[in-house]
Structure 1
Amino acid sequence: MINIGRINNLKISKLDHYGASLSIEGGEAEAGELVVLNKNLPPNAKEGDYVDVFVYHDSKEHLTATSQKPKVQAGEAAFLKVVQVNNVGAFLDWGLPKDLLVPFNQQQVSMLVDNDYLVFVYLDEDTNRVVASSKLNKHIQHGATIYKTRQAVELIISDITDIGYSAIINNQHWGVLYFSDVVKPLKVGQKLNGFIRKIRDDGKINLCLEAIGYDKVDSLSTKILKQLEISGGFIPLSDKSAPELINQRFGVSKKSFKMTIGTLYKKRLITIAREGITLIGKANDS
């Protein structure tokens, strides 16, 4: 069995000067094999090897595979550029020779060449072809019970609103990042790691970009202590420093930084002065 529009791990059953036959359990292709040209195989591939290949339909609508990795797979969202528009729809550059189709009826707004759009890629059940849609609400769900507070997730920024950023969580659900939880501006289409801050009573999900509570402190503590060692025991940042300087060095908010150095101070690992923080051992040495 193969997953069209996804990377599959398939066995090379036959290899010659033309290409390879990849075995398909369940016989999704004729004779249970998929023929792949040598140029689309990994270097030094041998008969009997299992190879990771992306399975899709080529420009002649033949089922084929390639070791070339696309920018996005079926079941995922991505920010892609339109390279052509014709009487069928818009075509996006997704890193493969055959561009990705967005049919007219799957366009939230009319797409224009050279513009970038956030789309969801999926396997059309009627045509068995991989296509994309910018009508994200058809594919991304509101509300979810599968997440837990403080859980690490992958995010894609989808929109900028009056209160913050709308984001897609793990290619499946909607969430919101409030401006107060973001240190620097984000862009539509930007991918980043985040955390579940809160699941509200109405099922909507609040997000944040920094670990919550002690998870955040422990992670940042390690980073600060490592930087102190590298810097000879002193860093010219303190609870009085500008938020921009703190973010530039550690990529966190001033609130998180203050909380963390406060914990390190209570553990007697550092001293804090207006000029900066000093590792206790280094302070005693001086």
Structure 2
Amino acid sequence: MTHTPPGTLYVVATPIGNLDDLSARAVRLLGEVARVAAEDTRHSARLLSHLGLNKPMISLHEHNEAGRIDSLDRYLEAGEDIALISDAGTPLISDPGFLLVRELRARNRHVVPIPGPCALIAALSAAGLPTDRFVFGGFLPAKPGARRQALEAWKVREETLVFYESPHRIVHTLEALHEQLEGREVVLARELTKTFETFLHGTPASLLAQLSSDPNQARGEFVVIVAGAPPVAQSEQQAIDADTLLETLLGEGVGVKQAASVAARLFGGRKQTWYARLQGMKGEH
């Protein structure tokens, strides 16, 4: 009896708005696979219907993903090819699929990406902020305190910052940016590839004013792009490193005189200067 080779999981990017952005390769594969794993089967059924396809579908979202892995693996073991799609864009990018892909790779299954639309890449390509280095933070926390803490951690990064945001939280996010990163250039990319696609540029304060004067600009899904922090001067960085070292030495019980000698060797300067600085730090404890 001939053994059927295992099937392949195709991670298929789908449109983020404009259906014409679906690649010919993606259309072909969606027509060829045995079944489709989708974040929202009702939503994705409309896409398949648009393509004239009627495929068996399996829901795969954040609440059931772990429980779907074995059943999907059995289909692959039986030789079926499966397409993984999300509601819009590239799966796994702030969408379900990571647990599935990681586990299937651990089981030596064949996983193939079918690239295509991705909101963060589309936004970066047209925003006019540096793209040589960027960090993607997904969605910021919903609770104000957690959101402030997250931005406090992100604010020192020199790379361009990219976040996703929903319409009912965009004003709160801009208010937090105004509090934590006021003066930074921010770009709001809204409703990408759709009829009312808009790019708004400004500081957090000016963007809040724009959304206040035109509430329609607060509708739709957003990519929030923030200019990175200015590079830290070498002298400032050295001071930060020196303080960290001195605090550590004092915390470990190293004597002031010995710690001053270590600091002078590492950072230069006179031992007496470091000694006085350490005495001051010791007095603060």
The TM-score bracket by the shorter chain reads under 0.3
Q: Which has the higher contact order (CA 8 A, sep 6+)?
A: 2
Q: What TM-score do you get using the length of structure 1 for normalisation?
A: 0.27
More strand by share: 1
Q: What TM-score do you get using the length of structure 2 for normalisation?
A: 0.27
